[in-house]
Chain A
Amino acid sequence: MSDYIETLWTQFIIEAEEHLELIEPLLVEAEISSPTKDDVDQLFRSFHSIKGLSKAMDLFGMEAIAHRAEDILGLVRDEVLTVGPDLADALLCAIDALKQHLKVADSTRQDQEPAGELKGRLEDIFNSAKGTVKEVAAKMPADEVMATPVSEVCVQAPSSLHPDPDMVIFFAELLQSNLPKLVDLLAPGFTIESPEAETIVYELEALSHAANAMEIYQLSESLSSILALLADTGLSNDTRRESLINELLRVVELTRFIENEIQKDCGTAPLVDQLRGCTAEMVEQLFRELAGQLQTIASSSEGHSLTDTPEVVSLAVNTAEKACVLNNHLHMLDGGDNSKRLLLTVSEVCNHINKGQAVPETDLIKLLLNAVSVAETEYRLFTENNEVHQSAVDWSSLHQKIWDVIKQQSSNTCSEELVSFKELAGKIEINPIFEDCMSMDNIKMLQQGLDKGEKVYEALVNLEESEAFTVSFLQWIETDVQLVTNSTIFIDNKPWSNCLLMTSQSEDALRESVKTLDPERCFLKLETCANIINKTPDDILVTDTHQSKEASTLRVSGATLDKFMSQIGEIVSIRGMLNHTIHFDGISSALSALKKYSGKLQNTDLNGEYYQTQLDVIENQLARFDQVDQKLHTVLSQLQESALALRVVPMENVFKRFPRAVRDLAQVQGKKVKLEITGQDVRIDKAMVEVLSDPLMHMIRNSVDHGIELPERRRAEGKAERAVVGLDARQQGNTVKVTISDDGCGIDAEIVGAKALERGLVNEEDILRMSQEEIMQFIFAPGFSTAEQITETSGRGVGMDVVRTNVIKLGGIVTVESEIGKGSRFTLELPLSAAIQDTVLVKSSGQLMAIPERYISQMIKIRANDVQPVKGCHAIVLHDSFLPVYRLGPLLGYKSTTNECEDTMVVAVLSDGKQQIGVVIESSYQRQELFIKDIHQQLTELPGVSGASILGDGKVVLILEVEDLFLLASKIGKTALLNVDMKARDIKTNRERVA
């Protein structure tokens, strides 16, 4: 129980801190420019969350502050208030207060009363803004004050599909994302056992559920039938596939209705593509049959009058229907307009033949066959290229030719009828499907209605399913609307009536009555004819199809990660031992000895051959063992790499503290400063974050404090009043480069030089031959400061010295460039990881030790008699000055075991940029990259030891702390104070020498 509460507290502190850290920079930014809508939302949400969290933890003081801040931001969100410097400042104060409360809560678990001043300030802001809301509200009629919820602000036209336009959009989105997945259903060899079946079943269930929730029951049913087909094991694969194709065509058709209704893509395209492929054969077959039937019509009617040949009449009906079916099919599959028009023409003409209004003469049939073959070619080209094909044959001229022939054939009424309909059709664009079934009376009726200003609609009605509906529908068309004509079409093998309706009612009234007639929209589908609403392509809403990525993060404590890393280090070490064992010389020599022996046994009775084979087995297995070890090595390296990646965090974690600090400091000093941060994404080792944070903070404060001038002076110098401090991080190979730049007054090398002389850091002779750059390095010397005054933040001269020490400790270097009047730039170069270090393995007093390579400026060989006693300690002459040297072992307190009389010795010259010593080591040394492990506290108390690592052969090696060595050396004797010009650059170049 108490564990649970502890967990809650920990989480509470972390979460609240995260929120505060997230929004603080937003507010700092808001003081300069007004925040974006997203930022305001974030601010609101964070305060809202802190409020809720505090309440949950019984911290009512925090809750009160966060609540007020949330209220204020609520007003900002509603655009009653805007965030200016004053408001941002008040909110920053709120954040400070929350931080302080949080700190108290963290240590004492106690609530606190909020400070009255802050509370008052926030309340004043809120109340005065609230006042304006009321004023505005009072001026508005009451019903307008009830603001519409946010979601309805972007108004979608209400759709007949669902009263809530948002729901329609979501449904469309769902269709759009799920429908394309159904193409797998048609993949060759797909069965319910296929691996992708599970997903498909899920998608189908989801879509079916959604269609049901949207009350589009036909779609829901169709999707359920697909599920049933999949589950029906009694079906043969072919039958199932055929039924699936039909159901999917139906799904496409129904979805098309929805697409039309809401003018939005619902993801039918991939399905259509797939269906085209699957039905290609069937379509081809239909085209063939169509052509065959036309030929039969021609041949059987040749020389006969139509009355003598009833079979031609029925064949013509059948052919007309077939052309219609094909057209329907092509329509569902986006088959290209030319093909569809030609098929409709063929269908129409066949109907004319059937009615005796056209004669199937050779000329006409030839043209019709031509039309069919053009339609087929067009369709094929269209589906192959998926784009409108520029027809070689002009559709309209072919169409025209056909009708010309028919016009010639029939002289009187029918041509007049045709012409009249054409004229009408030209005016209002009626579905050509009605053309066949329009009698002269129908046309007259339509004409009269149109003259009276009535409107024309097309309605698709299913009169076979519900008796109640059919009765009320028939009543409706007798009273409210006028039925001009109707034709039957088959959708999914069910007959639907396609009705042409005419009415004087307004469209809204009509839609209303349609809704009353068929509330569930299963039997009646109303479409407006094109003369009434012209929807332009611009109306179509383009929606963002951004795919959401699941960004799940896992919070792991630093300690766990460290443990994990050290365990990996352990494995790496153990693998090293394994490798060492395999390649242990003893094994191969033992093997070859045995082999030799068994060779001798070869020709004796002692079964030498048998032993030989056994030895071969061992040898082979040993080789295999080696292979496995190599594999293990590869995998382990990868593991180590990924584990290291876990330790890295974005630079943002270091940088995020700075905007606020710069803002506060600038405000105190009356300066105007903008902090420009780049490279927050660069990642560095977690351990670096902690060590890097303070030095960077120091340097940035320095920049603002010393670098940036007061606004008046900047104006006088023709600079922008608002100074820019730049903070940039970038990765270069294995190092991270962090630069802090400012456009302030720069550092005057002459003043630096003078100060250095004054403090006795350099003598006059030396300073004359030093370059400006070299002189500049004095600012890193201990106790150095050029500031005239000691201020709250800087000028005490302890800063840059600490910066340099920290940076070197991390294995990096720091440099400075500056130009008077233009500004300064500090550059830190740091290794990516502090956990793995380049070291040099050395031996002294029989003990193996590792010295971090960055401290070694060079390795030299000397003769024993080069060492001279100087002022009570031993020293050698190096670069014209004395370098004190010590034996490493004795320096650390080990007994000296080396032979005093040896002739040559190896000296490692150690330097931290301020002082240097030489340590004598035993001659063998090698470079080694080591994974540093923390050691037990008792061990760290050993002087000169900072950590340990394990070598490949399992040996433990101590890693030396060079700073400690300097201390030890100064206790015994001396260290050589370095001229500051022996600086990091030398260390770097010398490092290459070591390598």
Chain B
Amino acid sequence: MAKRVMIVDDSMIMRTMLKDIVSADSELEVVGDACDGEMALQKVKALKPDLILLDIEMPKMNGVECLKRLKLTSPAKVIIISSVAQAGSKMASDVRGLGAADVIPKPSGATSLDIKAKKGHEITKTARRVLGLGC
């Protein structure tokens, strides 16, 4: 059965894009999304995801606060997708300390991605690794 993925980002376009990239992998299924931390916490109850792709800069409740709460409310793995948490930054180590499985930047060049590029995308690869799906 495909692993359940939830996407949390305040930008609809980002959600669309992430969904498109992740859905290219047949073993990953996007089961829902949320546009801020509060909504994510509410939806996680019903969606029961295995993996959450989480943005940091969001209105109402930001990703860091959401992550702390998610740790209590959901067994899902969390990958932070944000340009705020660049590799090696303090924010990146902070969120890892809070239990994020990995931190990767936002995707670029949405208009030029083909199916192959999506499958080999860093996000897909990271998701597979975090969920233990093998490469």
Contact = CB atoms under 8 A, between A and B. Distances in A.
B110 A8 contact: yes
Interface string B52-66: 000001111000110
Contacts of B60: 548
A168 to B, nearest CB: 10
B108 A56 contact: yes
Contacts of A403: none
Nearest to A149: B94
Given A146-B90, A209-B75, A214-B72, A7 B11 contact: no
A151 interface: yes
Interface string B1-33: 000000000111110110010000000000000
A562 interface: no
Nearest to A169: B68
A52 B73 contact: no
Contact of B57 (A4, A49, A53, A214): A49
Contacts of A206: 45, 73
Interface in A687-717: none
B17 to A, nearest CB: 6
Interface string B101-125: 0000011111110000000000000
A8 B14 contact: no
Interface in B78-93: 83-84, 90-91
A42 B126 CA distance: 31
A15 interface: yes
Nearest to A199: B45
A100 interface: no
User: Main SS of chain B's interface residues?
Assistant: helix
Contact of B111 (A8, A11, A166, A210): A8
Contacts of A490: none
Given A4-B20, A52-B106, A58-B112, A167 B68 contact: yes
B71 A58 contact: no
B69 interface: yes
Interface in A352-370: none
A45 B72 contact: no
B39 interface: yes
B50 interface: no
B11 A57 contact: no
B72 A170 contact: yes
Contacts of B10: 45, 49
A12 interface: yes
Contacts of B75: 209
Nearest to B18: A56
Nearest to B107: A56
Given A48-B57, A149-B91, A149-B94, A15 B13 contact: yes
A5 interface: yes
B39 A209 contact: no
Given A45-B57, A53-B14, A58-B109, A210 B64 contact: no
B20 to A, nearest CB: 7
Contacts of B12: 11, 15, 555
A180 to B, nearest CB: 17
Contacts of B17: 8, 56
Interface in A93-152: 109, 146, 149-151
B117 to A, nearest CB: 12
A206 B14 CA distance: 29
A899 interface: no
B45 A151 contact: no
A149 B90 contact: yes
A167 B72 contact: yes
A422 B122 CA distance: 71
Pick from B13, B39, B111 the residue with the most CB of A within 10 Å: B13
B68 A164 contact: yes
Nearest to A170: B69
Nearest to B112: A58
Nearest to B114: A1
Given A8-B110, A58-B109, A151-B65, A167 B11 contact: no
A150 B63 CA distance: 12
Pick from B10, B41, B60, B110 the residue with the most CB of A within 10 Å: B110
A174 interface: yes
Contacts of B14: 52-53, 56
Contacts of B94: 149
A174 B59 CA distance: 21
A56 B59 CA distance: 20
Given A8-B111, A149-B91, A55 B16 contact: no
A550 interface: yes
Contacts of A44: 57
B11 A53 contact: yes
Contacts of B69: 170, 174
Interface string A6-26: 011101100100000000000
Contact of A11 (B13, B58, B109): B13
A213 B71 contact: yes
A202 interface: yes
Interface string A196-217: 0000001000100110011000
Contacts of B11: 15, 49, 52-53
Given A12-B13, A167-B71, A552 B90 contact: no
B72 A149 contact: no
A42 B108 CA distance: 23
A58 B72 contact: no
Contact of A56 (B58, B84, B109): B109
Nearest to B48: A202
A166 B68 contact: yes
Contacts of B83: 51-52, 55
A473 interface: no
A171 interface: yes
B108 A55 contact: yes
B16 A5 contact: no
B65 A11 contact: no
A934 B35 CA distance: 37
Nearest to B111: A5
A56 B110 contact: yes
A171 B72 contact: yes
Contact of B72 (A5, A49, A202, A213): A213
A7 B64 CA distance: 30
A149 B111 CA distance: 35
Contacts of A552: 39
A466 B104 CA distance: 44
A719 B57 CA distance: 45
A88 B75 CA distance: 45
Contacts of B112: 58
B45 A7 contact: no
A209 B73 contact: yes
Nearest to A58: B109
Contact of B45 (A150, A202, A210, A548): A202
A174 B73 contact: yes
A146 B93 CA distance: 13
Given A15-B11, A58-B111, A7 B16 contact: yes
A63 B11 CA distance: 15
A15 B13 CA distance: 8
A109 B111 CA distance: 10
Nearest to B81: A52
| CB-CB nearest 7 A-B residue pairs | A210-B72, A548-B38, A11-B13, A55-B108, A56-B110, A170-B69, A48-B57
Interface of A: 4-5, 7-9, 11-12, 15, 42, 44-45, 48-49, 51-53, 55-58, 109, 146, 149-151, 164, 166-167, 170-171, 174, 202, 206, 209-210, 213-214, 548, 550, 552, 555
25 contacts: A8-B110, A9-B111, A15-B13, A45-B57, A49-B11, A49-B57, A52-B14, A55-B106, A55-B108, A56-B13, A56-B108, A56-B110, A57-B110, A58-B109, A109-B111, A149-B94, A150-B64, A151-B65, A167-B71, A167-B72, A206-B45, A209-B74, A210-B72, A210-B73, A213-B72
Given A57-B110, A174-B73, 8 more contacts: A45-B59, A56-B17, A57-B13, A164-B98, A170-B68, A174-B69, A202-B45, A548-B42
